[in-house]
């Protein structure tokens, strides 16, 4: 599949790494389905995608709802007839000592970061297997390899993504479907908007990774030929200790 007609499904496309990756892949002419909950933000990203030279379809989706994920994938297939890239990216982070973490935030992290990501795989993997081609990019974290006081619920969800990625990779050996997990450190997105102290400040990071830099890396990984499967990529700002 040439980069021009590539069909891409992105969850968490309304901001941060999802939005940046949509715009980056649009520069190669990709056809992109943008999924998240905030429709106004998705519409704005869709406009940027079109201006960059791509095609965009907005499908408002809450990935914690299985029926919505099913509908998202069938809309994608109706529109494009195939899926070449799945960026399984929707997620959130809340931190705090366990007695201070609201149960609603714990539920939302586990439901979005783990269950939602699994729902996306449940619906897309059979399609990529049938095509015998495509790439799935899962979003883990530095905290998918480490754990920290006050961030271990989030870390547990991202360790889960690391486990999912490796198990799925093994399951797909013998096909031409590639599976990759990225494990970023601090990327400058809205992920930390709800934090009392931004990690940039907490860790004295003046130069976090930019979402566009992650998007460039993903474009490189996606462009590799089918036999070259980049399985995991750990990345941090040079200034990040943890």
Ligand X SMILES: NC(=O)c1ccc[n+]([C@@H]2O[C@H](COP(=O)([O-])OP(=O)(O)OC[C@H]3O[C@@H](n4cnc5c(N)ncnc54)[C@H](OP(=O)(O)O)[C@@H]3O)[C@@H](O)[C@H]2O)c1
* Contact yes or no for 124/73 (Cβ under 8 A): yes
Cβ-based nearer residue to ligand X, 107 or 132: 107
Task: Name the phi and psi angles at 190, rounded to 5.
Answer: -80, 0
User: Please, what is the minimum distance in Å from the beta carbon of residue 37 to ligand X?
Assistant: 3
What DSSP letter does each residue of 176-237 carry, written as one string?
A: SEEEEEEEES-B-SGGGTT-SS-HHHHTT-SSPBPHHHHHHHHHHHHHS-TT----EEEE--
User: Please, what is the minimum distance in Å from the beta carbon of residue 172 to ligand X?
Assistant: 21
Cβ-based nearer residue to ligand X, 226 or 231: 231
User: Please, what is the minimum distance in Å from the beta carbon of residue 141 to ligand X?
Assistant: 4
Cβ-based nearer residue to ligand X, 91 or 134: 91
User: Please, what is the minimum distance in Å from the beta carbon of residue 99 to ligand X?
Assistant: 23
* Contact yes or no for 153/112 (Cβ under 8 A): no
Binding interface with ligand X (CB under 6 A):
11-18, 36-38, 41, 61-64, 89-93, 112, 116, 139, 141, 184, 186-187, 189-191
CB proximity list for 55: less than 8 A, separation 6 or greater:
30, 31, 32, 49
Cβ-based nearer residue to ligand X, 7 or 114: 114
Distances (CA, A) of 111 to 91, 142, 236: 9, 20, 26
Residue 119: active-site member: no
Catalytic positions are 154
């Amino acid at each position: 599949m040439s980069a021009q007609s590539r069909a891409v499904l992105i969850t968490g496309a309304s901001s941060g790494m999802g939005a940046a990756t949509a715009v980056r892949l649009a520069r190669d002419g990709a056809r992109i389905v943008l999924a998240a909950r905030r429709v106004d933000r998705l519409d704005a990203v869709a406009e940027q995608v079109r201006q960059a030279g791509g095609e965009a379809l907005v499908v408002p989706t809450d990935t914690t709802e299985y029926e919505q994920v099913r509908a998202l994938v069938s809309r994608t297939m109706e529109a494009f007839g195939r899926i070449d890239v799945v960026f399984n990216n929707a997620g959130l982070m809340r931190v705090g000592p366990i007695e201070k973490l609201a149960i609603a935030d714990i539920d939302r992290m586990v439901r979005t970061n783990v269950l939602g990501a699994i729902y996306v795989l449940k619906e897309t993997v059979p399609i990529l297997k049938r095509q015998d081609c495509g790439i799935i990019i899962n979003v883990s974290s530095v905290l998918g390899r480490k754990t920290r006081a006050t961030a271990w619920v989030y870390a547990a969800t991202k360790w889960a993504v690391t486990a999912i990625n490796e198990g799925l990779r093994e399951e797909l050996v013998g096909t031409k479907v590639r599976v990759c997990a990225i494990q970023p450190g601090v990327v400058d997105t809205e992920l930390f908007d709800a934090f009392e102290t931004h990690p940039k400040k907490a860790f004295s990071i003046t130069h976090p990774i930019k979402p566009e830099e992650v998007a460039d890396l993903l474009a490189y990984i996606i462009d590799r030929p089918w036999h070259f499967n980049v399985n995991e990529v750990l990345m941090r700002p040079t200034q990040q200790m943890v």
